[in-house]
Amino acid sequence: MSRLTPISFETSEIEAIASATGRVAIIVTPDGKMDKAARRANRLTKGAVARLLESDGFGAAKPGKVITMAWPAGMAAEALDVLVLERRASVIEARKAGAALAKVKGDKALLVMAGGLARPEDLALGLILRDYRFEAHKTAPDTEVGGVTIHHTKADELSLDSVRAIADGVVMTRDLVNEPANVLTTTEFADRLVEMQGLGLKVEVLDEAKLEELGMRTLLCVGQGSDSPSKVVVMQWNGGADGDAPLALVGKGVVFDTGGISLKPAGGMEDMTMDMGGAGVVAGTMRALAMRKARANVVGLVGLVENMPSSNAVRPGDVVRSMKGDTVEVINTDAEGRLVLCDVMWYAQERFKPAGMIDLATLTGAIIVGLGHENAGVFSNDDALCKAFLKAADAEGEGAWRMPLGTAYDELLKSRIADMKNIGGRPAGSITAAQFLLRFVQDGMPWIHLDIAGVASVKAETSLAPKGATGWGVMALNRLVADMFEGG
């Protein structure tokens, strides 16, 4: 797994400003007020910080902005980074500020003079997440990355355990989504999840013979054109009370999606390595929960398949029977994610009788048309669960927007020869996909469907991630578990 930036808290030591090598960061408020460390840096640089704060350039600086002074006189450091931030910054502001420091940090060691800054842990989390680099397939020797030391007046009271757990989960998700499909096969994916047994997770891998026995024929039909065997991996974290029903997280894990017989256009097909994004988020969330020893029962299930065209591939017009027993007419083999999810969702409910169920999938291009790359689409049959998730996502700065459901959309899924079609055409494409999945939600089961096609992997950097995989959803789901099942 990609390395996490080495980071630590230490008790504030003003004299360290003069002797620290690499980079030193100080914090000033948007109105130009300096704390003890900033004043010390100002004296060392013979008033250079004060002159900066009086300049027109500083007046235009917004909170979270970093202004760099190269080779500051009177200091051993090669750069003095002036971070503009309120002392009582919000969670999101503190994380973005940390990310801003990470962007200028490079490979150098960084000393952050945080003083009595509120939420230093969130500053650290933002710094770690933005300093992420996926270099597993680079042939150049790895550059040694300098660590980060944060000096804080209450360092003895601070802990990085939760920060590292969350960051580890996000980084695992990013690594999985960034991996090429020739590396992250269904077997390799399953093997990486089995390795998490060392964290206290109980992990089972269901092979094709077991899936056939269970009747997961819609899932199996998606992968029948590939040489990579289809699998379902079940991860259990039992940190709550015995007998408490778990929250079930279900992820679509299409390790590569050609579209099957309904072949995708060549342009952009290389991006379909990210079509296992939902499974990646489930895996990362389970890792985070295990690492921080969450006081909750959560089960994560992922359906791992590869959608390839071949003489054995499922064809448009084929009719397949699901584990539930409903029949599906496959109109378009590129609408395969719902065929994977529906069987795994049914299995999760039948086996675990969960308190609620959330599925995640890079399911439709239609959700990108509707919401772009700022928000995931949220579909739910339960207002209380949906409200709790949207609150958690907002608190973590992960964009999410509720979309409608309705029986009128079912008309688009009617089949002449089967119980339903797997696609309803171009109109309301993300909604009809959710309506399809809703048919596999048992009566009384609180459920959320998250269409993350627009947010799982992006072409431009975000506030907390370089371009590529974002790890969207790990932080929101982790907070939802804490809020709903651990009492906050």
How much of the chain, in percent, has pLDDT values that exceed 90? 94
Query: What is d(CA 458, CA 269) in angstroms, rounded to the nearest whole number?
Result: 14
Q: pLDDT tier at 47 (50, 70, 90 boundaries)?
A: very high
pLDDT at 134: 92
Residue 487 has pLDDT above 90, yes or no: no
Query: Which CATH number is correct for 7-153, 3.30.420.10, 3.40.50.720, 3.40.220.10, 3.10.105.10?
Result: 3.40.220.10
pLDDT, residue 189, reads 98
pLDDT in tens, 350-372: 999 999 999 999 999 999 999 99
**Chain centroid to CA 158: how far?**
25
pLDDT reported for residue 276: 98
Across 151-190, b (16+ Cβ under 10 Å) vs e yields bbeebeebebeebbbbbbbbbbbbbbbbbebeebbbebbb
pLDDT of res. 256 = 98
Pairwise CA distance, residues 420 & 314, whole Å: 16
Residues 178-228: tens digit of each pLDDT: 999 999 999 999 999 999 999 999 999 999 999 999 999 999 999 999 999
Does position 488 have pLDDT exceeding 60, yes or no?
Answer: no
- Per the prediction, the chain carries an average pLDDT of 96
Euclidean distance between CA atoms 437 and 459, whole angstroms: 29
- Judge whether residue 383 has pLDDT over 80: yes
Domain map (residue ranges) of the chain = 7-153, 164-485
Mean pLDDT of the 78-87 span: 96
Average pLDDT of 1-19? Answer: 93
Helix (H, G, I), strand (E, B) or coil at 10: strand
Q: Could you write out the three-class secondary structure of 211-259? A: HHHHCCHHHHHHHCCCCCCCEEEEEEEECCCCCCCCEEEEEEEEEEECC
pLDDT at 464: 96
Which sequence positions are flagged as catalytic? 264, 338
Q: Can you point out the beta strands (E) in 116-164?
A: 148-152
pLDDT band at 56 (very low <50, low <70, confident <90, very high): confident
**Domain 164-485: which topology?**
Aminopeptidase (3.40.630)
Token pair of 243 as six digits: 């007998």
pTM score, whole prediction: 0.96
pLDDT at 129: 97
What pLDDT does 144 receive? 74
Average pLDDT over residues 321-346: 98
What is the Cα–Cα distance from 57 to 97, expressed in whole angstroms?
18
Q: What pLDDT was estimated at residue 143?
A: 66
- Distance of alpha carbon 404 from alpha carbon 449, whole angstroms: 11
Mean pLDDT of 251-276: 97
Residues 214-251: pLDDT tens digits?
999 999 999 999 999 999 999 999 999 999 999 999 99
**pLDDT for residue 141 is more than 70:** no
What is the per-residue pLDDT for 142?
60
Q: What is the CA radius of gyration of the chain?
A: 24
Say what the pLDDT of residue 418 is.
Answer: 98
Q: Exposure string (b/e) for 372-382, b if CB count within 10 Å is 16 or more? A: ebebbbbbbbb
442 Cβ neighbours under 8 A, 6+ residues apart? 349
- In contact, 451 and 430? CB cutoff 8 Å: yes
At residue 123, the pLDDT reads 97
Q: What's residue 146's pLDDT? A: 85
**Contact residues for 408 (Cβ-Cβ < 8 A; gap 6+):** none
Backbone angles phi, psi at 90, to 5 degrees: -75, 170
